[in-house]
Amino acid sequence: MLEIIKIEITNILKDRFLLFMYIVMPLFVGIFMYSTISKSIISDTPIGIVDLDNTQTSRNIIFDINASQGINVKRYYSSITEAKDDLSVKNIYALVVFPHNFEFDLKRQITPSVGIYYNTQLVFIGKNIYGALNLVFKNEDVDLRFKRYIASSQNTSLALGKSIDFMPKIISLYNPNSNFSQFLLTAALPCSWQLFIILCMIALIAYDEKDVGFIKNKINKIESIYKHLGAKILINTIIFFIWWIIMTIAFYNLSYPSNGNIGILILNALVTILAYNSIGIFLYAIIGSHIRSISVAAFYAAPSLAFIGITYPLNSMELFPTFWSSILPITNYIQVYIQQQNYEIDAIYSLQLIMRNLPFLLFGILGFIIYKKKKPI
C-alpha cells in the first residue's frame, strides 16, 4: 500500500495539471475572493438628496442622515430625473426625496411621504441603507412628537412617555457587526473548497487513462483496483484537509467568531471531504470520461452557494432548490460550522447534522464496485 501511495504522489508531482488543480487554483481562488470582499463593513455609502421642500425641518433631517453611520450624502439634485443617471451607474446607491409641503404637513399632523429609491439588485447595500435611514426617521419622529406634546402639556415626563415608542432590542447572534466579508467568505470559500475536492478526485482517478493532464498517451499499470482507489482517496483527503486547516486559520486571523468544538469541526471537515470523494468516484465510474465527469460534477457542486441557506434561507426556498440543497454535503457542513463557531451549540446537535453526510459515502462504495467491473485488472 505504501508503494502505491508513493507512486500516486509521484504522479501528482510530475503532472502540471494535477499540481495546478491542487495548489495553484485553490490559492488563486482564495486570494481573489478575499481581495474582492476585502472591505468588511459597508460604510460611507454615497446617497443623493432631492429636497423639494427646502425648509428647516428637511435640512435638519438631511444633517442627521449625513451624520448617521454607514451612509453619506454625496450629491444634491433638483429633481428625480436629474439623479436617475447617477443612480443607474452607481455613483450613488440611493436617493431620498423630500416632497413639497413636507414641513407644512408635519405641522398639520399629516404624515408626509418621503421617497427612498435604491437599486434592488444591491441587496446587502440596500438593507444597510434602509436600516440607517429608518433609524434617522424614527429618531426624527420621536423628536417632533416630543416638541408637540411638550408644547401642549408643559410636562416633560408625560411628553417624553408619549413620544417614545416601544423599541425591541434586537440582538444579532450571527455576524452582529454586519461584516459582509465574514458573511460571504465563510460561505464562498467552503463552496469553492468542496468543488475542488470533487474535481481533483475525478482528475486523480482519470490520470491513469490516456490523454488526461499534460502528459499524453499514458496508461499507468495498476496492480490492485481497491488499493489504487484507496490511495487516491487518502491523498485527496489529506491535501484538502490541509487546505481546510489553512482556511480555518485564515478565518481566525480575520477575527471571525471561533467558539466551536475543534473535534467536531475536524470531524465535520473529514466527513465532508470523504463525501465529495465518494461522489467523485461514483461519477467517474458511471460516466467513464474525464471531461464529461468534471462537467457533471461542476454542474452539481458549483451552484452550491445559492442553495446552502446563507444567501437565502432554506425554509423560504421552493421545492427544487430545497431538494438541491439536500443533496449537497456542503449544506450540512455550513450549518455545523455556524452552529459551532457562532452559536456554540451542544456537540450532539452538530453530530446529528454530520451524520446526514454519512449516506454519501455509499456512493464511494458503489463507485468502487462499478469501477472494478469496468476496468478489471
The three-class DSSP label of residue 165 is: coil
Q: How many domains does the chain have?
A: 2
Whole-number Å distance between alpha carbons of 150 and 160: 8
Which residue type is seen at 144?
Answer: L
| Strand partners of residue 125 | none
The sign of the torsion formed by the CA atoms of 34, 39, 41, 46 equals negative
Q: Any idea what the CATH number is for the domain that residue 95 is in? A: 3.40.1710.10
In a domain, 226, yes or no: yes
CB atoms within 10 A of CB 126: 17
pLDDT at 356 (0 to 100): 95
The C-alpha cell that represents 60 in the structure block: 435638519
pLDDT at 279 (0 to 100): 97
Cβ atoms 142, 122 nearer than 8 A = no
pTM comes to 0.73
Residue 33 and residue 55 in one domain: no
pLDDT at 28 (0 to 100): 94
Residue 28 and residue 64 in one domain: no
Whole-number Å distance between alpha carbons of 64 and 135: 10
Give average pLDDT by consecutive 10-residue segment, the chain, 377 residues: 82 88 94 75 76 87 80 87 82 87 78 76 66 72 54 49 46 55 86 96 82 44 73 95 96 86 95 97 91 93 86 75 92 92 87 95 93 70
Q: Could you tell me the strand order of the sheet in which 45-51 lies?
A: 71-77, 45-51, 94-98, 115-118
Residue 255 and residue 214 in one domain: yes
Main-chain phi, psi angles of 124, to 5 degrees? -65, -45
Q: Which residue bears the cell 444591491?
A: 122
Q: Which domain holds residue 134?
A: 45-163
In a domain, 171, yes or no: no
For 20-46, the DSSP string reads: IIIIIHHHHHHHHHHHHT---B--SEE
In a domain, 172, yes or no: no
Which residue type is seen at 62?
Answer: I
DSSP E strands in 242-299: the ranges are none
pLDDT at 124 (0 to 100): 61
Residue 74 and residue 200 in one domain: no
Residue 128 and residue 268 in one domain: no
Residue 143 and residue 245 in one domain: no
In a domain, 256, yes or no: yes
CB atoms within 10 A of CB 16: 12
Strands 94-98 and 115-118: what pairing? Answer: antiparallel
